[in-house]
Amino acid sequence: MNNEIFKRYEIKYLVTKEQRKLIEKAFKNYMVPDAYGESTICNIYYDTPDKRLIRVSLEGPAYKEKLRVRSYGQIKPGDKVFVELKKKYDGVVYKRRVAMKENKARIYFKRNSKIDEPTEENGFLERQIVKELDYVKDFYKNLEPSVYLCYDRTAYYSKDDENFRVTFDTNIRWRDEDMKLTSKPGGREILEDGMSLMEVKTATAIPMWFVDILSKENIRKTSFSKYGRAYMQMLEDEKKDNIIRFDFIDRKVG
């Protein structure tokens, strides 16, 4: 069972096709493509039936968290996925994740289910991650798949500092049915055509050469939550459904 811990700043920008081209052109002297190159990332976000986690997150508190299962592309039941806890406090992102088989991940979110006991080989770190995941799952109770969310990602990291990474996400799609990582990626688009969500990930400061690019192209950071955008579209759908339903009732009564 693989495990990973991240602690870093994640800064988001919405960029046009033209801006992205200029940025990637400037990358040639400083950045190299990630080992995965271009990949499709698929996620299932877990939440309470009343969407407590995303509702709290959208209120903009100092501390917020999300729980999800991630795969890289469409997978089979026995393939590896990552169960991830992503927390943000005072602008710093903390992420813990453990790897397991997809079918075991689904079972894990059922009531009273636990992750297999870590082996001695994996040691103390993995035990701590498992305990933290178990605590959050038990704290919220009744967690269930809330939304399936996928996107195509192109990733780069710095030649001088592999902890400085820049990713571009396009074709961000979501659905609230067929929420399985074994199903084909797809859903409703979140971004306008030609737009990319650029994320800058760093444990320290942003290099000056990159700051100069952002300044020259007048690119400003933005607040952007993929799950948050999907949830807002869910609310809009619900509102439209209610309007149609009430209109039908009014006509029937009238």
pLDDT, tens only, 94-116: 999 999 899 999 999 886 677 76
- Asked whether residue 119 carries a pLDDT value surpassing 70, the answer given is no
pLDDT given for residue 165 in this prediction: 95
Instruction: Look up the pTM and report it.
Output: 0.89
Largest pairwise CA distance in the chain:
72
**E strands within the chain?**
3-15, 31-47, 63-72, 80-89, 92-101, 144-158, 165-175, 188-189, 196-202, 221-222
Complete domains list, the chain, with CATH: 3-244 (3.20.100.30)
Average pLDDT over residues 174-189: 97
Cβ 209 vs Cβ 200: under 8 Å:
no
Average pLDDT over residues 74-102: 93
Buried b (16+ CB within 10 A) or exposed e, 86-112: bbbeeeeeebbbbebbbebbbebbeee
- Predicted confidence at residue 245, as pLDDT, reads 55
What is the chain's length?
254
> Average pLDDT in the 150-179 region?
95
Tokens for 183? 């199903």
CA distance 114 to 189: 34
How confident is residue 248, by pLDDT bands cut at 50, 70 and 90?
Answer: very low
Question: Are the C-beta atoms of residues 222 and 12 closer than 8 Å to each other?
Answer: yes
With b meaning 16 or more CB within 10 Å and e meaning fewer, what string describes 114-133?
Answer: ebeebeeebeeebeebbebb
pLDDT > 60? residue 191: yes
| Count of C-beta atoms within a 10 Å radius of residue 211 | 11
pLDDT band of 124, cuts 50, 70, 90: low
Share of the chain above pLDDT 70, in %: 89
Average pLDDT of the segment spanning 231-243: 87
Nearest of 165, 158, 42, 167 to residue 105 by alpha carbon:
42
